[in-house]
Amino acid sequence: MSLIEARDLKKTYHAGDVEVQALKGLSFEIEPASFVSFVGPSGSGKTTLLNLVGCLDKPTSGSLHVAGTEVASLGRADGATFRGNNIGFVFQDFNLIPVLTVAENVEYPLMMIDCCSGRERRERVAGLLEAVGMSDQAKKFPGQISGGQKQRVAVARALAGNPRLVLADEPTANLDHETAFMVIDLMKSLKEKRETTFLFSTHDPKIVEEAEIVYTIEDGLLKGFEDRRNGNG
């Protein structure tokens, strides 16, 4: 069964009197435990698509099922609960909460979804920080660590709720090349260990090389699909 199933997905924005068709009818399926990249130039619709999949926005038409739920029909509160339980996010600007320590940032989504006891939460956070190699920075605040470290913390935070899907919009855009590869490698290894589906957007061709499945979007339409798992395109 597919983790994500999109059928004729369209999204239209209104900027004043101007109508902008960001997505013009996308259909695709993504299986669990995939490492998928959406590539395309700026303005092609990658971020819009990730926002729809992440229940942060609603499609104008078409259907979108994520983890068996028709997410287009979810209300504000239910959408938040669904995201908390099923989806992790990694943002281009890291978006860590500055008043919380590294460990608390990772723990934050667990507190918000009222997950498990304090002890369990702390154990899970410790495990995630170890997995992303940030155990020794646990008590530091975001302002005290580097960009690469922040993104590793963001990956750990995205995985805190044991989501089935992690969405990463341009996760390496603000990182140097070496750090970018480290983050992608980290995501990839976590995907293998935890069987989490990673879906990320990028326009960096070298980063794209790391993806198992690549969708190319141009002008709101899917223009290409490449499945590298079996050497098929």
Partner 1 sequence: MVNIIKIALRNLLRYKRRTLLTSMLITVGVLAVILFSSITGAFKSLMIGQITDSMLGHLQVHKRGYVASIDNLPLHLNLGPKDVEKIEKVLGSLDGVEAFSPRIKFGGMFSNFEETTNVRLNGIDPAKEVLAAPLLSGRFLKGQAGDTLVAHGEILVPELLAKGMKVKLGDTVVIVATNSDGSVNAATFTVRGVLDAITGPGGRDGYIHIDDAAALLRITKKEANEYAIRLKNTDTLDETTAALAAALSGELNKKGMPKYEIHTWKKLSPFSNIAKMIDVMTFFIRLMLISIVLVSVMNVMIMAVFERVKEIGTIAAIGTRPGKILSLFLVEGLSLGILGSLTGTLVSLAAIVMLKINPISYDFGRQKGLLLSPSVDMGEIIVVFLLVVLISVLASLQPAWKASRMEPVEAMRHV
Q: Give the Cα separation of 88 and 108 in Å (integer).
A: 12
* DSSP secondary structure letters along 191-202: HHHH--EEEEEE
The continuous run of DSSP H or E covering 37 comes out as strand 35-39
Q: Are 60 and 11 in contact (CB under 8 A)?
A: yes
Task: List binders of partner 1 among 76-105 (CB under 8 A).
Answer: 76-77, 80-81, 83-85, 87-89, 91, 93, 95, 97-100
Which is closer to partner 1, CB of 33 or CB of 56? 56
Region from 36-44, 108-116, 188-196, 209-217 binding partner 1, contact rule CB under 8 A = 108-116
Which is closer to partner 1, CB of 55 or CB of 207? 55
Task: List binders of partner 1 among 150-179 (CB under 8 A).
Answer: 157-158, 161
Residue window 2-41: x/- pattern of binding to partner 1, with contact defined by CB under 8 A: ----------------------------------------
Tokens matching residue 203: 């326009």
Tokens matching residue 217: 């979007």
**Helix (H/G/I), strand (E/B), else coil: 225:** strand
Q: Are 129 and 103 in contact (CB under 8 A)?
A: yes
Residues forming the site for partner 1 (CB under 8 A): 51, 54, 56-57, 76-77, 80-81, 83-85, 87-89, 91, 93, 95, 97-100, 108-109, 111-113, 157-158, 161
